[in-house]
Amino acid sequence: MRKLTLVATAALAILSHRAPAQSVGKMFVDDLKHSGSDILAIWTSPFRASGKDWLLVAGSAGVFGLSMLADESVSNWAMRNENSGALRVIEPVRSGGIAYTGKFIVPPVAAAYIVGLATKNQGIRDGVFGCATSWLAQSGPPKLTYLLVERQRPDTSPDNAQRWGVPGDWEDWQKHSFPAGHFANAMSCATFWSERFDLGLWSIPVYGVAAAIGVGRLADGGHWTSDTVLGGILGYAVGREIARHSLDRGEERDKRKTGIILSPERTGTTFGMRITF
Protein backbone atom coordinates (compact mmCIF):
# COMPACT_ATOMS: atom_id res chain seq x y z
CA MET A 1 0.00 0.00 0.00
CA ARG A 2 2.83 2.36 0.88
CA LYS A 3 4.46 1.73 -2.51
CA LEU A 4 1.19 2.45 -4.29
CA THR A 5 0.83 5.70 -2.34
CA LEU A 6 4.35 6.78 -3.31
CA VAL A 7 3.72 6.05 -6.99
CA ALA A 8 0.42 7.93 -6.94
CA THR A 9 2.01 10.90 -5.16
CA ALA A 10 4.85 10.99 -7.71
CA ALA A 11 2.35 10.86 -10.58
CA LEU A 12 0.35 13.74 -9.10
CA ALA A 13 3.55 15.73 -8.63
CA ILE A 14 4.48 15.16 -12.27
CA LEU A 15 1.07 16.24 -13.52
CA SER A 16 0.98 19.27 -11.24
CA HIS A 17 4.23 20.54 -12.77
CA ARG A 18 3.10 20.31 -16.38
CA ALA A 19 3.31 23.67 -18.11
CA PRO A 20 0.04 24.96 -19.55
CA ALA A 21 -0.22 24.84 -23.34
CA GLN A 22 0.71 28.11 -24.99
CA SER A 23 -1.94 30.04 -26.86
CA VAL A 24 -1.43 31.08 -30.47
CA GLY A 25 -1.16 34.71 -29.39
CA LYS A 26 1.46 33.91 -26.76
CA MET A 27 3.55 31.93 -29.25
CA PHE A 28 3.41 34.77 -31.78
CA VAL A 29 4.37 37.37 -29.17
CA ASP A 30 7.25 35.18 -27.98
CA ASP A 31 8.51 34.79 -31.54
CA LEU A 32 8.36 38.56 -32.04
CA LYS A 33 10.20 39.21 -28.78
CA HIS A 34 12.95 36.74 -29.62
CA SER A 35 13.29 38.21 -33.11
CA GLY A 36 13.58 41.74 -31.76
CA SER A 37 16.17 40.78 -29.15
CA ASP A 38 18.21 38.89 -31.76
CA ILE A 39 18.20 41.84 -34.15
CA LEU A 40 19.22 44.21 -31.37
CA ALA A 41 22.03 41.83 -30.37
CA ILE A 42 23.37 41.81 -33.95
CA TRP A 43 23.21 45.59 -34.34
CA THR A 44 24.96 46.22 -31.02
CA SER A 45 27.54 43.44 -31.43
CA PRO A 46 30.39 45.83 -32.45
CA PHE A 47 30.25 47.31 -28.95
CA ARG A 48 30.85 43.86 -27.44
CA ALA A 49 33.37 42.60 -29.98
CA SER A 50 36.56 40.94 -28.76
CA GLY A 51 40.03 41.19 -30.23
CA LYS A 52 39.42 37.94 -32.11
CA ASP A 53 36.22 39.38 -33.59
CA TRP A 54 38.07 42.44 -34.88
CA LEU A 55 40.73 40.20 -36.41
CA LEU A 56 37.95 38.45 -38.34
CA VAL A 57 36.67 41.84 -39.48
CA ALA A 58 40.16 42.78 -40.65
CA GLY A 59 40.48 39.46 -42.48
CA SER A 60 37.12 40.03 -44.18
CA ALA A 61 38.28 43.48 -45.27
CA GLY A 62 41.41 41.90 -46.70
CA VAL A 63 39.39 39.33 -48.68
CA PHE A 64 37.16 42.14 -49.95
CA GLY A 65 40.22 44.09 -51.08
CA LEU A 66 41.70 41.12 -52.94
CA SER A 67 38.40 40.34 -54.65
CA MET A 68 38.34 43.85 -56.07
CA LEU A 69 41.10 42.75 -58.44
CA ALA A 70 38.53 40.57 -60.23
CA ASP A 71 35.72 43.11 -60.29
CA GLU A 72 35.83 44.26 -63.89
CA SER A 73 36.88 40.96 -65.49
CA VAL A 74 34.19 38.90 -63.76
CA SER A 75 31.53 41.53 -64.39
CA ASN A 76 32.38 41.73 -68.08
CA TRP A 77 32.22 37.94 -68.42
CA ALA A 78 28.92 37.69 -66.54
CA MET A 79 27.18 40.40 -68.55
CA ARG A 80 28.50 39.03 -71.85
CA ASN A 81 27.07 35.61 -71.03
CA GLU A 82 23.94 36.69 -69.19
CA ASN A 83 21.65 34.77 -71.57
CA SER A 84 23.67 31.61 -72.00
CA GLY A 85 24.42 28.37 -70.19
CA ALA A 86 24.00 28.19 -66.43
CA LEU A 87 23.06 31.86 -66.24
CA ARG A 88 19.83 31.07 -68.08
CA VAL A 89 19.08 28.22 -65.69
CA ILE A 90 19.00 30.60 -62.74
CA GLU A 91 16.63 33.08 -64.41
CA PRO A 92 13.89 32.51 -61.76
CA VAL A 93 16.10 34.16 -59.10
CA ARG A 94 17.41 36.91 -61.37
CA SER A 95 15.91 40.35 -61.93
CA GLY A 96 12.39 39.90 -63.27
CA GLY A 97 12.29 36.24 -62.27
CA ILE A 98 9.44 34.69 -60.33
CA ALA A 99 11.52 34.30 -57.16
CA TYR A 100 13.32 37.65 -57.38
CA THR A 101 10.95 39.67 -55.20
CA GLY A 102 9.28 38.94 -51.91
CA LYS A 103 5.72 39.00 -53.29
CA PHE A 104 6.17 35.45 -54.57
CA ILE A 105 8.02 34.19 -51.51
CA VAL A 106 6.13 35.76 -48.60
CA PRO A 107 2.74 33.99 -49.09
CA PRO A 108 4.04 30.38 -48.84
CA VAL A 109 6.36 31.35 -46.00
CA ALA A 110 3.48 33.00 -44.11
CA ALA A 111 1.36 29.90 -44.71
CA ALA A 112 4.13 27.72 -43.26
CA TYR A 113 4.27 29.89 -40.16
CA ILE A 114 0.50 29.65 -39.69
CA VAL A 115 0.83 25.87 -39.86
CA GLY A 116 3.60 26.07 -37.26
CA LEU A 117 1.34 28.06 -34.95
CA ALA A 118 -1.67 25.81 -35.48
CA THR A 119 0.31 22.65 -34.81
CA LYS A 120 2.49 24.25 -32.11
CA ASN A 121 5.51 23.10 -34.10
CA GLN A 122 8.56 24.91 -32.74
CA GLY A 123 10.78 23.84 -35.63
CA ILE A 124 8.55 25.37 -38.30
CA ARG A 125 8.15 28.57 -36.29
CA ASP A 126 11.91 28.84 -35.74
CA GLY A 127 12.59 28.14 -39.41
CA VAL A 128 10.33 30.94 -40.61
CA PHE A 129 11.12 33.54 -37.94
CA GLY A 130 14.83 32.69 -37.90
CA CYS A 131 15.14 33.37 -41.62
CA ALA A 132 13.13 36.59 -41.34
CA THR A 133 15.18 37.72 -38.35
CA SER A 134 18.47 36.99 -40.15
CA TRP A 135 17.19 38.88 -43.17
CA LEU A 136 16.20 41.93 -41.15
CA ALA A 137 19.29 41.88 -38.94
CA GLN A 138 21.73 41.89 -41.83
CA SER A 139 19.72 44.49 -43.77
CA GLY A 140 20.65 47.21 -41.29
CA PRO A 141 24.39 47.56 -42.06
CA PRO A 142 23.98 47.78 -45.87
CA LYS A 143 21.27 50.43 -45.57
CA LEU A 144 23.48 52.44 -43.24
CA THR A 145 26.32 52.04 -45.72
CA TYR A 146 24.17 53.50 -48.52
CA LEU A 147 23.91 56.68 -46.47
CA LEU A 148 27.65 56.88 -45.85
CA VAL A 149 29.20 55.80 -49.13
CA GLU A 150 28.05 55.18 -52.68
CA ARG A 151 29.35 52.89 -55.40
CA GLN A 152 28.15 52.78 -58.98
CA ARG A 153 26.70 49.49 -60.17
CA PRO A 154 28.36 47.64 -63.07
CA ASP A 155 25.47 48.31 -65.46
CA THR A 156 25.99 52.07 -65.07
CA SER A 157 29.78 52.00 -64.86
CA PRO A 158 30.85 48.88 -66.81
CA ASP A 159 34.44 49.94 -67.39
CA ASN A 160 35.25 51.43 -64.01
CA ALA A 161 34.65 49.53 -60.77
CA GLN A 162 36.05 52.32 -58.62
CA ARG A 163 33.38 54.97 -58.96
CA TRP A 164 32.84 55.72 -55.27
CA GLY A 165 31.42 58.74 -53.53
CA VAL A 166 31.01 60.17 -50.04
CA PRO A 167 28.44 60.63 -48.61
CA GLY A 168 26.08 58.11 -50.10
CA ASP A 169 22.86 58.72 -51.98
CA TRP A 170 19.90 56.97 -50.35
CA GLU A 171 17.48 57.59 -53.23
CA ASP A 172 19.64 56.64 -56.24
CA TRP A 173 19.33 52.86 -56.60
CA GLN A 174 22.19 52.80 -59.11
CA LYS A 175 24.61 53.92 -56.40
CA HIS A 176 23.81 51.02 -54.04
CA SER A 177 26.24 48.46 -55.39
CA PHE A 178 28.20 48.14 -52.13
CA PRO A 179 27.55 45.68 -50.55
CA ALA A 180 25.41 43.03 -52.32
CA GLY A 181 22.13 43.11 -50.40
CA HIS A 182 20.20 40.38 -52.23
CA PHE A 183 23.01 37.89 -51.81
CA ALA A 184 23.47 38.82 -48.15
CA ASN A 185 19.76 38.20 -47.56
CA ALA A 186 19.89 34.79 -49.19
CA MET A 187 23.11 33.79 -47.45
CA SER A 188 21.79 34.77 -44.02
CA CYS A 189 18.73 32.54 -44.44
CA ALA A 190 20.72 29.65 -45.90
CA THR A 191 23.22 29.80 -43.06
CA PHE A 192 20.52 30.03 -40.40
CA TRP A 193 18.72 26.95 -41.72
CA SER A 194 21.92 24.99 -42.14
CA GLU A 195 23.22 25.80 -38.66
CA ARG A 196 19.90 25.69 -36.78
CA PHE A 197 18.69 22.38 -38.20
CA ASP A 198 22.03 20.66 -38.95
CA LEU A 199 20.99 19.96 -42.54
CA GLY A 200 24.06 17.95 -43.48
CA LEU A 201 24.07 17.26 -47.23
CA TRP A 202 20.82 19.19 -47.59
CA SER A 203 22.90 22.30 -47.00
CA ILE A 204 24.27 21.92 -50.53
CA PRO A 205 21.04 22.82 -52.38
CA VAL A 206 20.19 25.46 -49.76
CA TYR A 207 23.52 27.22 -50.25
CA GLY A 208 23.23 26.51 -53.97
CA VAL A 209 20.11 28.67 -54.22
CA ALA A 210 21.85 31.45 -52.29
CA ALA A 211 24.86 31.22 -54.62
CA ALA A 212 22.58 31.35 -57.66
CA ILE A 213 21.13 34.62 -56.37
CA GLY A 214 24.62 36.06 -55.97
CA VAL A 215 25.72 34.98 -59.44
CA GLY A 216 22.46 36.23 -60.90
CA ARG A 217 23.08 39.71 -59.55
CA LEU A 218 26.51 39.66 -61.18
CA ALA A 219 24.93 38.72 -64.51
CA ASP A 220 22.30 41.44 -64.13
CA GLY A 221 24.99 44.06 -63.60
CA GLY A 222 23.74 44.76 -60.10
CA HIS A 223 26.97 44.20 -58.16
CA TRP A 224 30.69 43.81 -58.53
CA THR A 225 32.47 40.64 -57.36
CA SER A 226 33.83 42.36 -54.26
CA ASP A 227 30.33 43.55 -53.31
CA THR A 228 29.13 39.97 -53.58
CA VAL A 229 32.00 38.61 -51.51
CA LEU A 230 31.34 41.11 -48.73
CA GLY A 231 27.59 40.47 -48.84
CA GLY A 232 28.21 36.74 -48.50
CA ILE A 233 30.48 37.23 -45.49
CA LEU A 234 27.94 39.50 -43.81
CA GLY A 235 25.02 37.15 -44.46
CA TYR A 236 26.94 34.11 -43.22
CA ALA A 237 28.03 35.82 -40.01
CA VAL A 238 24.54 37.07 -39.18
CA GLY A 239 22.76 33.81 -40.04
CA ARG A 240 25.18 31.79 -37.94
CA GLU A 241 24.75 34.07 -34.91
CA ILE A 242 20.94 34.04 -35.13
CA ALA A 243 21.04 30.23 -35.35
CA ARG A 244 23.17 30.12 -32.21
CA HIS A 245 20.62 32.20 -30.33
CA SER A 246 17.81 29.93 -31.52
CA LEU A 247 19.68 26.79 -30.46
CA ASP A 248 20.40 28.29 -27.04
CA ARG A 249 16.69 28.94 -26.54
CA GLY A 250 15.95 25.38 -27.59
CA GLU A 251 18.32 24.05 -24.95
CA GLU A 252 16.63 26.21 -22.32
CA ARG A 253 13.22 24.84 -23.33
CA ASP A 254 14.53 21.28 -23.07
CA LYS A 255 15.83 21.95 -19.57
CA ARG A 256 12.41 23.19 -18.49
CA LYS A 257 10.65 20.16 -19.96
CA THR A 258 12.41 17.57 -17.80
CA GLY A 259 13.64 17.44 -14.27
CA ILE A 260 13.88 15.41 -11.11
CA ILE A 261 11.20 15.86 -8.47
CA LEU A 262 12.39 15.41 -4.88
CA SER A 263 9.71 16.49 -2.44
CA PRO A 264 9.95 15.89 1.35
CA GLU A 265 6.71 14.78 3.00
CA ARG A 266 5.74 14.08 6.63
CA THR A 267 5.58 10.37 5.94
CA GLY A 268 8.60 10.17 3.62
CA THR A 269 10.05 11.65 0.45
CA THR A 270 8.44 11.78 -3.01
CA PHE A 271 10.82 11.07 -5.86
CA GLY A 272 9.91 11.22 -9.52
CA MET A 273 10.68 12.56 -13.01
CA ARG A 274 8.91 15.60 -14.46
CA ILE A 275 8.33 15.58 -18.22
CA THR A 276 6.45 18.48 -19.83
CA PHE A 277 5.14 18.19 -23.37
Domain map of the chain by residue range?
Answer: 23-258
| 84-142 pLDDT tens trace | 877 888 888 888 777 777 777 788 889 999 999 999 999 999 999 999 999 999 988 88
Angle between helices 71-80 and 225-257 (to 10 degrees): 90
What backbone phi and psi angles, to 5 degrees, belong to 134?
Answer: -60, -45
Name the residue among 180, 201, 206 with its Cα closest to residue 191: 206
- Please check the confidence at residue 7 and state whether its pLDDT lies above 50: no
Beta strands in 96-194, from DSSP E residues, in sequence order? 150-151, 164-165
- Rounded to two decimals, the pTM is 0.81
Average pLDDT, the chain: 84
Exposed/middle/buried for residue 1 (C-beta within 10 Å: 0-12, 13-18, 19+): exposed
Distances (CA, A) of 83 to 71, 94, 180, 182: 20, 11, 21, 20
Concatenated DSSP letters of 119-140:
TT-HHHHHHHHHHHHHHHHHHH
| 142-188 pLDDT tens trace | 888 999 999 999 988 888 999 999 998 888 889 999 999 889 999 99
- CA dist 267 and 176 (Å) reads 75
- CA dist 20 and 62 (Å) reads 52
- CA dist 115 and 38 (Å) reads 23
- Please check the confidence at residue 233 and state whether its pLDDT lies above 60: yes
How confident is the model over 188-215, as a mean pLDDT?
93
Distances (CA, A) of 137 to 210, 228, 242: 17, 18, 9
- CA dist 116 and 114 (Å) reads 5
Q: With the C-alpha atoms ordered 243, 246, 248, 251, is the resulting torsion angle positive or negative?
A: negative
- CA dist 67 and 1 (Å) reads 78
C-beta of residue 239 within 8 angstroms of C-beta of residue 195: yes
Task: Please give the pLDDT value at position 157.
Answer: 87
- Please check the confidence at residue 272 and state whether its pLDDT lies above 80: no
- Please check the confidence at residue 19 and state whether its pLDDT lies above 50: no
How confident is the model over 252-261, as a mean pLDDT?
67
